[in-house]
Amino acid sequence: MKKFKLVVPKGRIYKNVVELLGDIGIRVEADDRTYRPYVNDPEIYVKIMKPQNIPKLVEIGAHDAGFTGFDWILETGADVVELLDTGFDPVKIVAAIPVDSSWENLKNRKVIAASEYENITRKFLEEQGLDYIFIRTFGATEVFPPEDADLIVDNSATGRTLEMNRLKVVKELFSSSTRFIVNKEVLKDKWKKEKIDEMLMLFEAVLNARERVMLEMNVPKDRFEEIVKILPCMRAPTVAPLYGDQGYAIKIAVKKEEVRSLIPLLKKMGATDILEYELRKVIA
């Protein structure tokens, strides 16, 4: 049987990726010690790896596709095709120094820079014209300054860890999130390309649904045109006449952030029996 080889990241982004796969019908089950989990689709083989290793493994064809952070795609320089930004686990890659240190002063002497991102850090420091010594870290980068490093390059979600370690951001290098990537040659394989296209369509449908809710309401005939004009639907609202010619039932998919102001407005304009419920998939 032909197999589609998918690699899933170990660590903090594992949960979101596995939930996304589950939402499109690919159930992945593993305990903390398992790296080759059970998958309910016999055509898919899944392996769990550290996200740092995934871009290169996908590039060389050890796996057909996988999920990893954009930071690790840049760090490894992997030649892969990025098909989807899931938006999961967003972070900023930043350069930070101790709060009582001066960025201008660092530019005038040799600095010790510590990071898990060697290539990204070297490129940044050379662009800044700094004379430096690089130290490769293996986690807990924020503890290096001030005793063991003058500067770090690290990922930051909220900035709280940096603050707790008395560090301040001097430069934001770029933003990163979890991406779905594939091997270039795989896209030439008809069977695998179809598999990827199906997965991608369903991934996007699930992610779209997470941003939206369904609203249903009844609208009197004399307010119909007025209400329809203000509805923020995807294309056009679904409309059906109510029994006894008493008005219309309207159904729309709207973004979650719009609901808070939209429902009171609809109520004020005469809409009744307003229902809101979650969506599973949205395919435009």
- Whether the full predicted model's pTM is greater than 0.85, yes or no, is yes
Residue range(s) in the chain whose domain bears CATH number 3.40.190.10: 4-88+177-209, 91-175
Q: Residue 140's pLDDT is what?
A: 92
Residue type, 191: W
Q: Which CATH class is domain 4-88+177-209?
A: alpha beta
What DSSP line would sit under 150-205, residue for residue?
Answer: SEEEEEESSSHHHHHTTEEEEEEEEEE-EEEEE-TGGGGSHHHHHHHHHHHHHHHH
CATH class of 212-278: alpha beta
Instruction: Measure the CA angle with vertex 219, ends 218 and 222; round to 5°.
Output: 160
pLDDT digits (tens, 9 = 90+) for 55-92: 999 999 999 999 999 999 999 999 999 999 999 999 99
Residues of CATH 3.30.70.120 domain(s) within the chain? 212-278
Read off the pLDDT of residues 188-237 as tens digits, 9 standing for 90 and up.
999 999 999 999 999 999 999 999 999 999 999 999 999 999 898 777 88
CATH superfamily to which 91-175 belongs: Periplasmic binding protein-like II (3.40.190.10)
Task: List pLDDT tens digits, range 26-40.
Answer: 999 988 788 999 999
